[in-house]
Amino acid sequence: MSKYLNIKAIGITILAILVLCLFLSKTIYSFNMPQITATIPFNGKLNKTETANGIANWAEKESVCIEVAGKVEEVLVKEGETVYKGQELVRLSVNNDEMNKIKELKIARAKLELDIETINIKIEKAKADMTALETEQAYEIKKAQDNYDRINSLYQAGAIAQVEWETAEYNLKSTIDKYNKQVADLKNLMLTYNQDIKGKQLDLKNNDVQLARYNDILSTNGSIKAETAGIVGEIAISKGDIVTANQSVMTIGIGEKFTIECSIPLENSFVAVGDTCELTNSTHSFEGTVDRIVADEKTKAVSITVSDGNITPNESFSITFSKEGEQIEKLVPNGAIQQDSSGYFLYKISRRKGVLGDEYYTEKLPIYIGDSDNTNTVILNDIGFFEPVVLSSNKPFSEGDTIVLKNGGDFFAED
């Protein structure tokens, strides 16, 4: 009995050693193989997403400019302050140069008025000359015509030579041409006078506009007022600054409509004018509308409009554009797509009998790809939905290599 037990114990020990060796052999055999995670194609819709960053600014704003040079005595508003139309914004002490400018404008105005008066006199004289010329023209042409008619009658009767008839005909034509040219020249002269006077009158109107501006500013002791209601944006001056004529000193944002500019990659093809997008930051979120897209050599500049009184100028936003595909497609994760000189392909995973039992290996499966998003790609050719393909690997491998399939139970039945 004791001998039988010893034999049994030895047998069990040998069997255990064999099992252990088999396990160790399979473990050692698998140790250097690529560790593969697989997936399968599936039906779904692409969900394209693009993110960018942008800064808000008013869609409509007005630049406040100083009409005359001077020194800033006081800035009466602050950035972000709401102002009404006609509210005083800046007070200046005006330079003597601006007084001289008014004198220059007045002198220029007097000269323009004199020029206009002189041209009007010339026009009246030209009109009188035209009346006299037309009277003289009618008389001289009639005289030449009567002479021609008389000579022509005599010529037809054979009473005079042809040379006399030709002379009368030439004199009639010359008289007509002479007076027609004089009338045309006089009309052109009158047209020139009229054009000159229109130009002078336009200069006079411009002079009046400038003079009114300077007088208005001086009469209010250099007071700059808001021409429209809105919110004060960036102020470019402070007390004591010297400013020049036509210098912009601040902006006023009008209304609650803002524009946010951002850039997206040039290859982005799904963001379009009219699309909505999400704008978020740590404080709040809004929905905006794409109203303009301009492409350059490297990127696309996207302009977004949003209307909300809670937005402040120069506020930063994270912008998300997203669009779901219109139809269901056959998809695979982007990580499964491979490419070589022959084109795109997937690594299909198959199972076969090996020395130590079932083993998995890879085969190339050529594919044609379509559109894609950040996660998945459309497969255009017909492939099976139940054949697993490589999604990721811990090391490089080639077609036909034996692999370790980490999630094989998801695709293959266990024997």
pLDDT in tens, 236-286: 999 989 888 888 999 998 888 899 999 999 988 889 999 999 999 998 898
pLDDT digits (tens, 9 = 90+) for 198-236: 888 898 899 888 888 777 666 655 778 898 898 898 899
The Cα–Cα gap between 380 and 370 comes to 6
Q: Are 40 and 407 in contact (CB under 8 A)?
A: no
Q: What is the model's pLDDT at position 21?
A: 46
For residues 108, 114, 118, 121, the Cα torsion angle rounded to the nearest 10 degrees is 140
- Region 120-126: mean pLDDT is 87
**In the block, which residue shows the tokens 């039906």?**
43
Count the alpha carbons within 13 Å of 97 in the hemisphere toward its beta carbon: 9
Q: Alpha-carbon Rg of the chain, whole angstroms?
A: 47
pLDDT at 26 over 80: no
Decide the pairing of beta strands 242-243 and 276-280. unpaired
The Cα–Cα gap between 157 and 179 comes to 31
The Cα–Cα gap between 185 and 90 comes to 57
Q: Helix axis angle, 96-157 relative to 162-219, nearest 10°?
A: 170
User: In the numeric block, which tokens belong to residue 75?
Assistant: 């800035």
pLDDT at 363 over 90: yes
The H or E element spanning position 163 is helix 162-219
Secondary structure (3-state) at 40? coil
pLDDT at 182 over 70: yes
CA 202 from chain centre, in angstroms, equals 37
Q: Percent of the chain at pLDDT above 90? A: 30
The Cα–Cα gap between 214 and 196 comes to 27
- Region 2-10: mean pLDDT is 60
The Cα–Cα gap between 314 and 201 comes to 46
Q: What is the model's pLDDT at position 176?
A: 87
Q: What is the model's pLDDT at position 19?
A: 47
Q: Percent of the chain at pLDDT above 70? A: 88
**What is the DSSP track for 282-303?**
SS-EEEEEEEEEEE-SSEEEEE
pLDDT digits (tens, 9 = 90+) for 127-145: 888 888 888 888 888 888 8
- Region 181-195: mean pLDDT is 87
Question: How many residues can be counted in the chain?
Answer: 415
**What is the DSSP track for 53-90?**
EEEEEESSEEEEEESS-EEEEEE---TT-EE-TT-EEE
pLDDT digits (tens, 9 = 90+) for 28-55: 555 678 999 999 999 999 988 999 999 9
Q: What are phi and psi of 410, to 5 degrees?
A: -75, -15
Q: What is the model's pLDDT at position 15?
A: 61
pLDDT digits (tens, 9 = 90+) for 87-118: 989 988 766 666 777 788 889 889 988 988 89
Q: What is the model's pLDDT at position 23?
A: 46
The Cα–Cα gap between 173 and 166 comes to 11
What is the pLDDT of the chain when averaged over all its residues? 85
